[in-house]
Each structure stands twice: as structure tokens, then as C-alpha cells.
A and B are shown apart, each in its own frame.
Chain A
Amino acid sequence: MSYEKWIKLGLEKGLEDLQIFATRNRSLKLTIYQGRIDQHVESDVESVTLRGIYGGKITSIKFENTNTDAIETMIDRLISNAKALTANEPAIIFEGSESYPEVKVESFDFTRVPIADKIQLAKDYEAGLLGQKFVKQVQSTTYQETENETTLINSKGLKLHRSNSFAYAYAIGVFEKDDDIKTAYDIKLVKDYADFNLADMIQTTLEKGWAKLGGSSISSAQLPVVFSNEKFGELLATFTTIFSGESAYRNLSPLKDKVNEAIAIEGLSIIDDPLHPDAYFQIPFDDEGVATAPMNLVDKGVFKGFMHDLKTASIFKEAPNGHSFSGRISTTNMYVQPSNVGFDELIQPIENGIYITELAGLHAGVKAVSGDFSLQAGGFKIENGNVTTPVKMIVLSGNFFKLLNGITGIGSDLKFGLNNVGSPSVFVSSLSIGGDDSKAS
């Protein structure tokens, strides 16, 4: 049955408006361990999210059983769920934006590359690491390719389609030196199979692993801290909900009532740009069919406004800005605007500090509501303006909102992570380091 027929059926059953958001995801995953295939996974899954308005209330239901008889059941459940809603909130199915940004079509067909080549790529990746200095073994080597197709169609006549395809590979090296064991990996994501450069991938993984080896804890102290570009991006990513219109509306964002107020040093700008050329993905519309556009969240230290979906945009009496994804408000490609200060110049003034290149427990040690964070961390000492010996097993603690006002320098090395958040290296004047005296060198 076609989506048009589902819409007709939904309207017949009494829905005032409805939208079908359908995705098809095909993937191949290969993992190699000790020269053999450890995992070989092929998949083809369609999933449909039905969003509908009944009695002025909107809700949604997501399902994978797309058999005809199941659709009716799903529409019935959607209606009974909508009936249970009591909150009087805007319920909108979107008629469409005036225009949509053009994005480069990425349609490389990875399935055309013989599977034997992909297996060989992963085997060569593993073999290239094994036997190298300090490499004890390779925990797993992964090749994964994914092809996504998304179709959005609704009773207001909107029809949109987007698709993309990509592949990535990484190997988790286990490094050992003097009883100290560390793991390291670097994910390489490509839009064209020819962009896998094995020699570079091996070298990057080795360098990441070697850099982590050795090192010790340090005594607890308040110290200047420089976050690597990747790690500041990861920390920032855990705080994206503070910029959500839904969080503000629900009293869950400390930025509520702070639009146009300074919340950070003047040198800090945070931008969400769905079309940024350096990001991994460019996104022309959100899951409600709203066209996306670049947006300044923080401009020269001033908070400029919340990300919205159709509902919160209506509540805040603002134009929707295309941030509804997977039923939540979220960023597209959010990043900290880089400066032109090189890394060496950035750390040059630091006599005694820490360069953070590892963070663990981000899902647990961060409180987005209060801004408090306390995380297992590792990295290097910074002594007299130079990165020196490795540091491990420390706890890095602070408050994100205080941190925003304690930034002393921002680097030029903008890098987007696979979480679609980008950042250059960031220098923070002082954070709390917890360590173990007895294990300090």
C-alpha cells in the first residue's frame, strides 16, 4: 500500500492531519579479528513514523511492521494516544517552507565495490597495526557502509526526499608498554570508497595509541586546561539540550529568559550550520519538513535564541528553524567558531597546565541542567608552553556555564566529530583536577 493510501486511511479514521516519515536503511558491517571475519552483518530495514493530529492534539507512533493490517492498528493506537493528551499545545503538520537549501547529492554506491575488497581493506588495516611498536593486539577492525533514504509526505501536500550514503572504517588498537595498557582508534568516514587511505589510517591510529602510553596520575590541583578540539566538541555535545526550545518551555534550561544576554566571553561564538562544508553531513530539511538554515546560538558571547520545532516555535512566537530530528529538538552541525590562533601559540602562555585528550563517562558525569561536570580524563602535562608527559586517571571537574566565562583562548583547528559537533582546541583558565598523590610522578 502506498503512503498516499495510508494518508487517506488516516483521514478517514478521523485524523485532522497526518504526516508519514519513512526511512529505509541498508547497511553492511564487517569486523576482522586476527585475520578472520569476526562479524559480517547485512541489513535492510524500513521504519515509518506516523504523526497525526486528533482532536487538536498531536502525537506520533513509529513502527517497522508495515503490513497492511498493521497500519490500521497503528492509526488506531495513534488516535487513542492523542486522546490521552491533556496539554493544550500547538499541533501542527507543516505545509512546507518556501524554499529548501541545495545540498550536494552523495550517492556513491558502496555496494558496487566487491565485498572481498572491503574484507581485504579491514584485514590490511589490522595487519598494518600488528607488529608495530607497542601494539599488543587489535581488538577489532570495522568496516561499515550505510545507505539511507528518507521520504516525508503529509496531508498538507508536502513531499520531500533526501538520501545519503557513506562508509567508515576504524581499528581499535591495544597498546602496551611496561604493563600500561591503552586502546586507541580513529574513525575515517568517507563518501567515496576511493577516499580510504589505509597508510594514513594506520599512521593516525598508531600515533593516537603511542601518545597515550605511559604517564601517571597527578596530585589534585586547580590548573589551566586546554581541551583538544575533539574533546571540547564531545563536552559541548552533552550540553546541546540547553539550547532547545523544548527544554526552555519545560523549565529545564538555565538559558530560559537569557536571550540576548551575555553568557560567555566575547570571543566565543557557537553556530549551528546544517550546511557547513567541513561537517560530515549536510541536511536540507528537518523531520517535520522545515527548511534548515545556519543559526547563531551564541554570538560573541551573547545567547541569541533557542532551536525550535514547529510546536516550540509557535509557543515562542518565532519562526520555526528546522531543528526537529527523531522526535526531539537537536542540533544539526553545531560548532565553536575557530580563531586564527595556532595550537602552539594557544598553549604558549601556560607554565603548568593540562592538555585533555581523553574523556570518559560523558553520559553519566554531566548534568545539563546545572552545568556541573565531573569526568574521568587523561592527556598530557603542559609545562612552560610545551606539551610534555602523559597524564592518566584523573577526574576533570567544573561547571559548564562558569567555563564559558573562563575561556582564555580558542584555537584555529576546527574539527567536526562523528557526533556532528565541531570545535577547535579550547583553553580554559582553571578547572579542578582530581588525582592520586601516591600515583603521581
Chain B
Amino acid sequence: MIDKLVLERLIQEGVSEGADFCEIFLEDTHSNVLRVTGQEVTDTSSSNVYGAGVRLIQGNDEVYGYTNHVDEASLEQIVHNLKVSFDGPKMDAKPLGDSQPYDPQVKIPMASKTTTEKAEKLLPLTKIMADHDSRIVQSIASLMDMKQVIKVANSDGVYQEDERHYARVIMMAVAKDDTSMQQAYEGPGRSMGFEIFDELDVKTLAKETATSAITLLSAEDIESQVMPVILHNGFGGVIFHEACGHPLEATAIAKGLSPFVGKVGEKIGSDVVTAYDDGTVDNAWGRLSYDDEGRPTQNNLLIENGVLKGYLVDFRRGRMMGAKPTGSGRRQSYKFSPTSRMNSTFIAPGKDKVEAIIKDTKYGLFAKKMGGGSVQPATGEFNFAVQEGYMIEDGKLTRPVRGATLIGHGKDILFKIDRVADNLEFGQGMCGSISGSIPVDVGQPTIRVQSMTVGGAGGQK
């Protein structure tokens, strides 16, 4: 990558004609996908993302350029092309400081293992799924690993290197009987190396994935209705991510496009709701030592006992809003300018027990595993899919149901949460937004929402 003195010179060049901020982001990312289908290794592909992004800002206005030609002349050309957008006095960039230590969170680097050694960890997983039941017609286990090396430098003197290691094991089972074909999957991910296979009980997850696919075969299509919904821990947190997380990002707030604009200090949820976005959780999929603007990540309190406490803020939107950045500036790669994004977002645990919440629910839906969802931040309307669900009747889980989708409004849902259990867990996903697709954790303990609109293909109740 480019020498520090060269970066310093280019940054000075960037702020020479009116821009009051210049940032250069360099990236070299290597990732591998390994797939085992049944008992065969069927895919071993690799990719490399390599390039540089240059950002100039004057006031609130921004220009951004990127290229895969990471050499002094190419970057200089970009700086020249970009700076003509602005007109104004020359500014003195601060000298670049020293990069602070970072923690790559890895014990056994993936690069120290051969593809065959990795495959040996996946083969038992597909076997567990295939052997679970004769109705399992396909079992696939994949390992996605990625090492992202970045360097970010800017005219405020920030000079920061970081190295991020990601590992994710994705398991899918397909079950088939005379009437239908169903799929189930699990995709735990961590900021880790090869030790993910020691630290996670992937074999149990493989068994659960197969069980889930078989359960779906006998599940009935859920009837459309409005009813109480218990959202189980872990990936259930996708509801908070979609309904509240995105609308609390400065990207939405700075433009006034969120139901939560101007609501800091106000009650936006019921007393049992406390929520954080934390970039510092050890080995978490959404963890970073430093964000993509070179700031250390932190634990941000979003909501405390129902009262809105803060937003997720990146450098530029922080300027617009007069707010301090929260270490939340993220981007998929050098091909994106950073914006405010989530890391590990979760509803804090309460004191309730799952069993008690189910027992106290006369009728409703237990959403054991969630799929993904989406939100339109301007309107607050969100949706998400239930991967595995059970009806609750007289305080007991009864029949499995499939095909449920839950919809609602972000500003209503937090008020409708009336029970929060003590079993906080995280689930992992890729979150897509303006600055690309990034790894995030969603998380929550088991919670109950008093009423939600549930849709499904089983007719209506």
C-alpha cells in the first residue's frame, strides 16, 4: 500500500482549494468460499477486493472517488478531479499521527490452514444433516472467511490501520416429502479465525438445521391474523434492527427522514426496552477495533427504559447535525463512502424467563427463528419473515406453522413490547444500506409484542 508520507502529501493537496476535509481509505481484502454439498467439496472460490477511496468535504458537501489502481499517480489524479468541485482558501492538513494498536481477534489465522483442512471441518456437518432423516434430500455446509486489511488517513491527522478477520459457517438442509419441499438454514459468524470450529458447537447447529427442515414439512401455513407474538432470542433481534436501528442512523436523522427525529429524551418505547449498539463486543461478527473513518468503536446507548438516548453518527452527518461521531462510520469496501451504520445492535436482557412469558400467553405466535426483513426508514414501515414458528395455545407451544410474515410500524412496536427475558443472544447477518453490505449482529433476549399483524397463506382467522 501507499507510503505514509505520500498519503500526507496527497491529503494536503486535497484541502488546497476549498475542501476542509480530506480522507484516503486503502483496502486489501481476501475472502474465500468453500462449499461442501453432501459428501463432496463442490466449490472453492476466492476473491480479492483491492483499491483506494478518496473523500473531500467542504462544509456538508462531499465528493468521493475510487479506483483499484493504488499508486501515487492514480490517487493524485483522483484528488485533482475531486478538488475542482470546491472553491475556497487553502487549509493546512494536520500531520498524520501514529496508528494505534488494534486487536485482530484471531487465534488461528485461516491463511494457516489449507482448503482441504477447512473442508474436513465441514464434511461432518453435512453428514449430520443427511443422516438425521431420510427425508433430508440435500445438505450443504459452507465456510466463508475473509481478512480485510485497511488503512485510513485524513486531514485531521488520523492515521489508522486495522485488520479484520471474519469466519462464518453456513448450513442448509432441504427436506422433501410427497407434498412439499422445505429448507432451513443456520449461519453463525464471528470475528475469528479457524478456531470458530472449536468455539462454536457447529455440530449441534447442524442437527438443529436438519430438525428445523423436517419440522417445516409437517407445519401448516399460518392463518393471517392480529395476535401477540413472542420473538425468541438471537436473530429475533432483526426486528429491532429493522424497525428502530435503521431509523436511528444519522443517514436518516440528518435528513429528517425518520420517525425518531428530534425525539432524544422522549419516550419512544415501553419501560422494559433498553437497547444498545455496541462495536466492541469481543469476537462478535459486527465488531471493529476502529470504524472505517479511523475512530475507535464504542458501546452506544440508544434507548434506556423506553427513553431515546442517542443516534448512530458518522463524521459527515455529525457535522450536519452538530453531533459527535459514535464510531459508527462503516462501508462495505473502498467503493463506498462511509455512512452511519450498526455494529452489534441489541435489546438488553430483562429479568423474565422464556417459560414464564410463554405460559402467560393465552394465544399467539412463538417465532422461534426469524428470517430477514426490511424497513423503509422514512415511513417506519417494516416487515420480516419467520423461518420457524409455533402457535401458542393456553400458554403452551402446540403446532408448528410456516410462512408467517410480520409487519408493523417502528414507532408503534417499541411501545407494544411488554415482556423481556434474561437470555440475550446474538444472531449474524449482512446488512445492506447506502454504504454497502456489512457484517452486523442483531440481538435480543426473548421478547413479547402485545399485538402484531401476521400474514400467511393459511387463510384467515
Q: Are B182 and A370 in contact (CB under 8 A)?
A: yes
Q: Are A87 and B385 in contact (CB under 8 A)?
A: no
Q: Are A432 and B61 in contact (CB under 8 A)?
A: no
A167 at the interface (CB under 8 A from B): no
Q: What per-residue 1/0 map shows which CB atoms of B56-96 lie under 8 Å from chain A?
A: 00001111111111100000001001100100000000000
Nearest residue, chain B, Cβ from A29: B64
The residues of B that contact A182 with a CB separation of less than 8 Å are 379
Which of the segments A8-16, A196-204, A229-237, A357-365 contacts the partner chain?
A357-365
Q: How far is it, in angstroms, between the C-alpha of A375 and the C-alpha of B47 when the chains are bound?
A: 34
CB-CB contacts below 8 Å: B418-461 with A = 453-461
A312 at the interface (CB under 8 A from B): no
- Nearest-neighbour CB distance to chain B for A19, whole angstroms, equals 14
Majority secondary structure of chain A interface residues (helix, strand, loop or mixed): strand
Q: Are B405 and A397 in contact (CB under 8 A)?
A: yes
B144 at the interface (CB under 8 A from A): no
Query: Which listed residue, B65, B183, B216, B455, touches A41 by the CB 8 Å rule?
Result: B65
Question: With A395-B454, A432-B460 as given contacts, are A365 and B371 in contact (CB-CB < 8 Å)?
Answer: yes
The residues of A that contact B371 with a CB separation of less than 8 Å are 364-365
- Nearest-neighbour CB distance to chain A for B385, whole angstroms, equals 4
Q: Are B47 and A435 in contact (CB under 8 A)?
A: no
Query: Which listed residue, B40, B62, B382, touches A87 by the CB 8 Å rule?
Result: B40
- Nearest-neighbour CB distance to chain A for B365, whole angstroms, equals 12
The residues of B that contact A432 with a CB separation of less than 8 Å are 221, 224, 455-460
Q: Are B374 and A251 in contact (CB under 8 A)?
A: no
Query: Which listed residue, A81, A82, A251, touches B137 by the CB 8 Å rule?
Result: A251
The residues of B that contact A254 with a CB separation of less than 8 Å are 181
Query: Which listed residue, A43, A81, A398, touches B457 by the CB 8 Å rule?
Result: A398
The residues of B that contact A397 with a CB separation of less than 8 Å are 221, 224, 403, 405, 455-457
The residues of A that contact B157 with a CB separation of less than 8 Å are none
Question: With A361-B374, A435-B224 as given contacts, are A393 and B381 in contact (CB-CB < 8 Å)?
Answer: yes
A155 at the interface (CB under 8 A from B): no
Q: Are B174 and A84 in contact (CB under 8 A)?
A: no
Q: How far is it, in angstroms, between the C-alpha of A47 and the C-alpha of B335 when the chains are bound?
A: 13
- Nearest-neighbour CB distance to chain B for A413, whole angstroms, equals 26
The residues of B that contact A394 with a CB separation of less than 8 Å are 407, 455
Q: What per-residue 1/0 map shows which CB atoms of B32-66 lie under 8 Å from chain A?
A: 10100100111111111111000000001111111
Q: What per-residue 1/0 map shows which CB atoms of A288-329 lie under 8 Å from chain B?
A: 000000000000000000000000000000000000000100
Q: How far is it, in angstroms, between the C-alpha of A60 and the C-alpha of B402 when the chains are bound?
A: 38
The residues of A that contact B137 with a CB separation of less than 8 Å are 251
Question: With A87-B37, A395-B224, A395-B454 as given contacts, are A33 and B255 in contact (CB-CB < 8 Å)?
Answer: yes
Q: Are A81 and B455 in contact (CB under 8 A)?
A: no
B124 at the interface (CB under 8 A from A): no
Q: Are B115 and A81 in contact (CB under 8 A)?
A: yes
B356 at the interface (CB under 8 A from A): no
Q: How far is it, in angstroms, between the C-alpha of A371 and the C-alpha of B294 when the chains are bound?
A: 45
Nearest residue, chain A, Cβ from B370: A364
The residues of A that contact B204 with a CB separation of less than 8 Å are none
Q: Are A395 and B455 in contact (CB under 8 A)?
A: yes
- Nearest-neighbour CB distance to chain A for B387, whole angstroms, equals 9
Q: Are B60 and A174 in contact (CB under 8 A)?
A: no
- Nearest-neighbour CB distance to chain A for B118, whole angstroms, equals 8
Q: How far is it, in angstroms, between the C-alpha of A182 and the C-alpha of B223 when the chains are bound?
A: 28
Q: Are B119 and A84 in contact (CB under 8 A)?
A: yes
The residues of A that contact B454 with a CB separation of less than 8 Å are 395, 434
B134 at the interface (CB under 8 A from A): no
B372 at the interface (CB under 8 A from A): yes
The residues of A that contact B28 with a CB separation of less than 8 Å are 65
B112 at the interface (CB under 8 A from A): no
CB-CB contacts below 8 Å: A52-74 with B = 59-66, 70, 74
The residues of A that contact B100 with a CB separation of less than 8 Å are none
Q: How far is it, in angstroms, between the C-alpha of A425 and the C-alpha of B51 when the chains are bound?
A: 44
B116 at the interface (CB under 8 A from A): yes
Nearest residue, chain A, Cβ from B27: A64
A221 at the interface (CB under 8 A from B): yes
Majority secondary structure of chain B interface residues (helix, strand, loop or mixed): strand
Nearest residue, chain B, Cβ from A181: B379
> Chain A contact residues (Cβ within 8 angstroms of B): what range?
35 or more
B404 at the interface (CB under 8 A from A): yes
The residues of A that contact B460 with a CB separation of less than 8 Å are 219-222, 432-434
CB-CB contacts below 8 Å: B210-230 with A = 216, 221, 223-226
Q: Are A84 and B335 in contact (CB under 8 A)?
A: no
Nearest residue, chain B, Cβ from A61: B46
**Number of B residues whose C-beta is below 8 Å from A?**
82
B194 at the interface (CB under 8 A from A): no
- Nearest-neighbour CB distance to chain A for B53, whole angstroms, equals 9
Q: Are B381 and A74 in contact (CB under 8 A)?
A: no
Q: How far is it, in angstroms, between the C-alpha of A37 and the C-alpha of B316 when the chains are bound?
A: 14
Q: Are A36 and B453 in contact (CB under 8 A)?
A: no
Q: Are B458 and A80 in contact (CB under 8 A)?
A: no
CB-CB contacts below 8 Å: A1-57 with B = 33, 36-47
A85 at the interface (CB under 8 A from B): yes
Nearest residue, chain B, Cβ from A438: B226
The residues of A that contact B372 with a CB separation of less than 8 Å are 361, 363-364
The residues of B that contact A40 with a CB separation of less than 8 Å are 62-64, 82, 85
Nearest residue, chain B, Cβ from A359: B383
A282 at the interface (CB under 8 A from B): no
Q: Are B224 and A361 in contact (CB under 8 A)?
A: no
Question: With A64-B49, A80-B115 as given contacts, are A369 and B181 in contact (CB-CB < 8 Å)?
Answer: yes
Nearest residue, chain B, Cβ from A84: B115
CB-CB contacts below 8 Å: A387-441 with B = 393-399, 431-438
A164 at the interface (CB under 8 A from B): no
Query: Which listed residue, A63, A82, A396, A437, touches B48 by the CB 8 Å rule?
Result: A63
- Nearest-neighbour CB distance to chain B for A75, whole angstroms, equals 11
CB-CB contacts below 8 Å: A176-190 with B = 181-183
Q: How far is it, in angstroms, between the C-alpha of A254 and the C-alpha of B223 when the chains are bound?
A: 24
Q: How far is it, in angstroms, between the C-alpha of A40 and the C-alpha of B84 when the chains are bound?
A: 12
Q: What per-residue 1/0 map shows which CB atoms of A270-292 lie under 8 Å from chain B?
A: 00000000000000000000000
A139 at the interface (CB under 8 A from B): yes
Q: What per-residue 1/0 map shows which CB atoms of B374-401 lie under 8 Å from chain A?
A: 1010110111110000000000000000
The residues of A that contact B50 with a CB separation of less than 8 Å are 63-65, 70
A192 at the interface (CB under 8 A from B): no
CB-CB contacts below 8 Å: B292-349 with A = 335, 337
- Nearest-neighbour CB distance to chain A for B47, whole angstroms, equals 4
The residues of B that contact A217 with a CB separation of less than 8 Å are 453
CB-CB contacts below 8 Å: B97-118 with A = 114-116, 118
The residues of B that contact A84 with a CB separation of less than 8 Å are 34, 41, 44, 114-116, 118-119
The residues of A that contact B67 with a CB separation of less than 8 Å are 43-45
Q: Are A395 and B376 in contact (CB under 8 A)?
A: no
Query: Which listed residue, B37, B138, B405, touches A395 by the CB 8 Å rule?
Result: B405
Query: Which listed residue, A82, A181, A221, touches B44 by the CB 8 Å rule?
Result: A82
Q: Are A374 and B378 in contact (CB under 8 A)?
A: no
Q: Are B65 and A42 in contact (CB under 8 A)?
A: yes
- Nearest-neighbour CB distance to chain B for A213, whole angstroms, equals 11
Q: How far is it, in angstroms, between the C-alpha of A116 and the C-alpha of B407 when the chains are bound?
A: 43
A-B CB contact pairs (8 Å), 6 listed: A64-B50, A86-B40, A360-B383, A361-B385, A370-B181, A434-B225
B interface, CB within 8 angstroms of A: 28, 32, 34, 37, 40-51, 60-70, 78, 81-82, 85, 114-116, 118-119, 137-138, 140, 174, 180-183, 216, 221, 223-226, 255-257, 335, 337, 371-374, 376, 378-379, 381-385, 402-405, 407, 409, 453-461
Can you name 16 extra interface pairs (CB under 8 A) apart from A38-B61, A38-B62?
Answer: A46-B68, A60-B45, A61-B46, A137-B256, A250-B37, A360-B374, A364-B371, A365-B405, A376-B383, A395-B405, A395-B455, A396-B455, A397-B221, A397-B456, A434-B225, A434-B455
